[in-house]
């Protein structure tokens, strides 16, 4: 075979290989579909309403006059009424079993009534009444315990603050204190608060959850201002309500914000054309 024929044959083979490679490239499958872009990830908003049954360790009456004359008394009645609560919050679902949220709530005025018999030098009875409302803020964590037919039981715990706002309170005297009357100004007090949660969630839609929950909430102490007698009595009394706790029943809704928002490019899946 002559040199010219050999070179011609090699050139033809190279041209054929190049054409075959270009044709194979044109037949390559489209690239893999990119993962959907999530808006908001696991973020959610929540709203809650409920009622709290209040309990506490009792009222402590303290004489703040100078010199102080410690009270000696026997409690006859010491109770609190319920509070209605309304709350909102924002949270994040990290995975199917773990989520966190921050919540804030307003709790309506609770009635406080304290009746005591004084056993000291001037025996008699006093009945003191007032109202206080509360604002509670908590950071909470929850463990979701699986999902059965759209129902998810959960448990959780939270820590935060409780701010109690006492209105004016009044003190009426009876028996040996008959005719006695006192007024204390309003006073605010902020405490450490903590909570335990348990409940059930229900999937109304993929993005809307309904909750029915019980919560134990410890809200610390509340205090009224100095009591001033209607007639001079020489005493400055302060009432402290110790370790207020609430057994709450709540109904809540969670709105999930996550979802794909970035549509696939219109050109995805179209034939790939390469020019060489």
Predicted confidence (pLDDT) per residue in 240-274, tens digit: 999 999 999 999 999 999 754 334 344 434 444 44
Structural domain includes residue 196: yes
> How many folded domains does the chain comprise?
1
Flag the least confident range among 5-19, 80-94, 204-218: 5-19
Average pLDDT, the chain: 81
Is residue 91 a part of any domain in this protein?
A: yes
Residue 66 lies in a domain: yes
pLDDT digits (tens, 9 = 90+) for 113-150: 999 888 876 777 888 999 999 999 999 999 999 999 99
Q: How far apart are CA 219 and CA 217, in angstroms?
A: 6
Q: Give a yes or no: residue 157 inside a domain.
A: yes
User: What is the SS3 assignment for 161?
Assistant: strand
Quote the CA–CA distance of 9 and 71 in Å, as a whole number.
Answer: 119
Q: Is residue 71 part of a domain?
A: yes
Nearest 10 degrees: Cα torsion 239, 103, 251, 106 = 40
pLDDT at 79 over 70: yes
Residue for token pair 């010491």:
78
CATH number at residue 229: 2.40.160.20
Residue 25 lies in a domain: no
pLDDT, residue 172, reads: 81
**Domain range holding 138?**
36-256
Cβ-contact 44, 92 below 8 angstroms = yes
- pTM listed for this prediction: 0.76
In DSSP terms, 187 is beta-bridged to 166
Assess if residue 9 is contained within a domain.
no
**Is position 19 within any domain?**
no
């Amino acid at each position: 075979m002559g040199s010219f024929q050999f070179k011609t044959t090699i050139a033809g083979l190279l041209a054929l290989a190049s054409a075959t490679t270009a044709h194979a490239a044109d037949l390559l499958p489209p690239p893999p579909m990119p993962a959907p872009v999530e808006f908001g990830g696991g973020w959610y908003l929540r709203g809650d309403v409920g009622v709290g049954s209040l309990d506490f360790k009792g009222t402590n009456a303290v004489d703040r006059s100078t010199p102080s004359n410690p009270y000696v008394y026997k409690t006859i009645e010491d109770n609190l009424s319920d509070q209605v609560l309304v709350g909102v919050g924002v949270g994040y679902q990290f995975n199917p079993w773990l989520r966190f949220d921050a919540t804030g709530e307003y709790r309506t005025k609770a009635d406080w009534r304290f009746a005591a018999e004084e056993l000291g030098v001037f025996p008699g009875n006093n009945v003191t009444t007032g109202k206080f409302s509360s604002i509670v803020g908590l950071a909470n964590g929850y463990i979701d315990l699986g999902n059965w037919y759209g129902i998810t039981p959960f448990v959780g715990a939270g820590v935060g603050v409780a701010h109690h706002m006492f209105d004016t309170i009044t003190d009426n005297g009876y028996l040996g204190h008959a005719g006695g009357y006192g007024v204390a100004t309003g006073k605010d007090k902020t405490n450490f608060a903590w909570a335990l949660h348990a409940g059930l969630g229900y999937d109304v839609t993929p993005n809307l959850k309904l909750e029915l929950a019980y919560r134990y909430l410890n809200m610390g102490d509340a205090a009224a201002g100095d009591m001033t007698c209607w007639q001079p009595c020489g005493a400055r009394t302060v009432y402290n309500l110790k370790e207020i706790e609430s057994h709450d029943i709540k109904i809540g809704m969670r709105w999930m914000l996550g979802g794909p928002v970035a549509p696939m490019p219109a050109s995805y899946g179209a034939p790939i054309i390469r020019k060489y």
